[in-house]
């Protein structure tokens, strides 16, 4: 089961945001909390490989409700995270309370790529 993703939507202009106290568009503090479907798509990704042992990817994910978030993608090797990869919030203990949202890859495409990756091991 996927973790829940709670986001805010501005009552004035309808802009969706995440972990904000003010609307990023009109600076209103009149925000409603909503539960996101949580399925997003990677729109930009970087592999951080400064330290080999902790190589990880840092990605920007767009959610269907209209906001984008910087996320940490787990579950696949960082170089397999690409633009267009479908993701959803990771369950339970992987989430940090204050850090980047942790997401895991979901969907058919992921399975194919993971299988291919395993096949090369």
Interacting residues with Zn ion (CB under 5 A): 10, 12-13, 15, 23, 25-26, 28
C-beta of 36 vs 85, nearer to Zn ion: 36
In whole angstroms, the minimum distance from the beta carbon of 67 to Zn ion comes to: 12
How many helical (H) and strand (E) elements, i.e. helices and strands, does the chain have? 1, 8
In whole angstroms, the minimum distance from the beta carbon of 37 to Zn ion comes to: 21
In whole angstroms, the minimum distance from the beta carbon of 13 to Zn ion comes to: 3
C-beta of 15 vs 95, nearer to Zn ion: 15
Residue 112: alpha-carbon gap to chain centroid? 20
- Distance of alpha carbon 17 from alpha carbon 9, whole angstroms: 6
Question: If you compute the radius of gyration of the chain from its CA atoms, what whole number of angstroms results?
Answer: 16
- Distance of alpha carbon 92 from alpha carbon 98, whole angstroms: 14
Kindly state the tokens that stand for 21: 């106290």
C-beta of 21 vs 98, nearer to Zn ion: 21
C-beta of 26 vs 43, nearer to Zn ion: 26
In whole angstroms, the minimum distance from the beta carbon of 20 to Zn ion comes to: 10
């Amino acid at each position: 089961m996927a973790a829940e993703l709670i986001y805010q939507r501005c009552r004035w202009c309808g802009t969706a945001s995440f972990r904000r106290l003010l609307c990023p568009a009109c600076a209103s503090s009149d925000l409603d909390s909503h539960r996101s479907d949580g399925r997003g798509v990677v729109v930009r990704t970087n592999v951080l490989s400064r330290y080999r042992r902790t190589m990880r990817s840092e990605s920007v994910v767009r959610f269907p409700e209209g906001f984008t978030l910087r996320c940490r993608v787990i579950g696949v090797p960082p170089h397999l995270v690409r633009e267009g990869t479908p993701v959803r919030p990771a369950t339970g203990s992987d989430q940090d309370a204050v850090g980047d949202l942790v997401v895991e890859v979901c969907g058919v495409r992921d399975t194919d790529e993971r299988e291919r990756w395993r096949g090369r091991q």
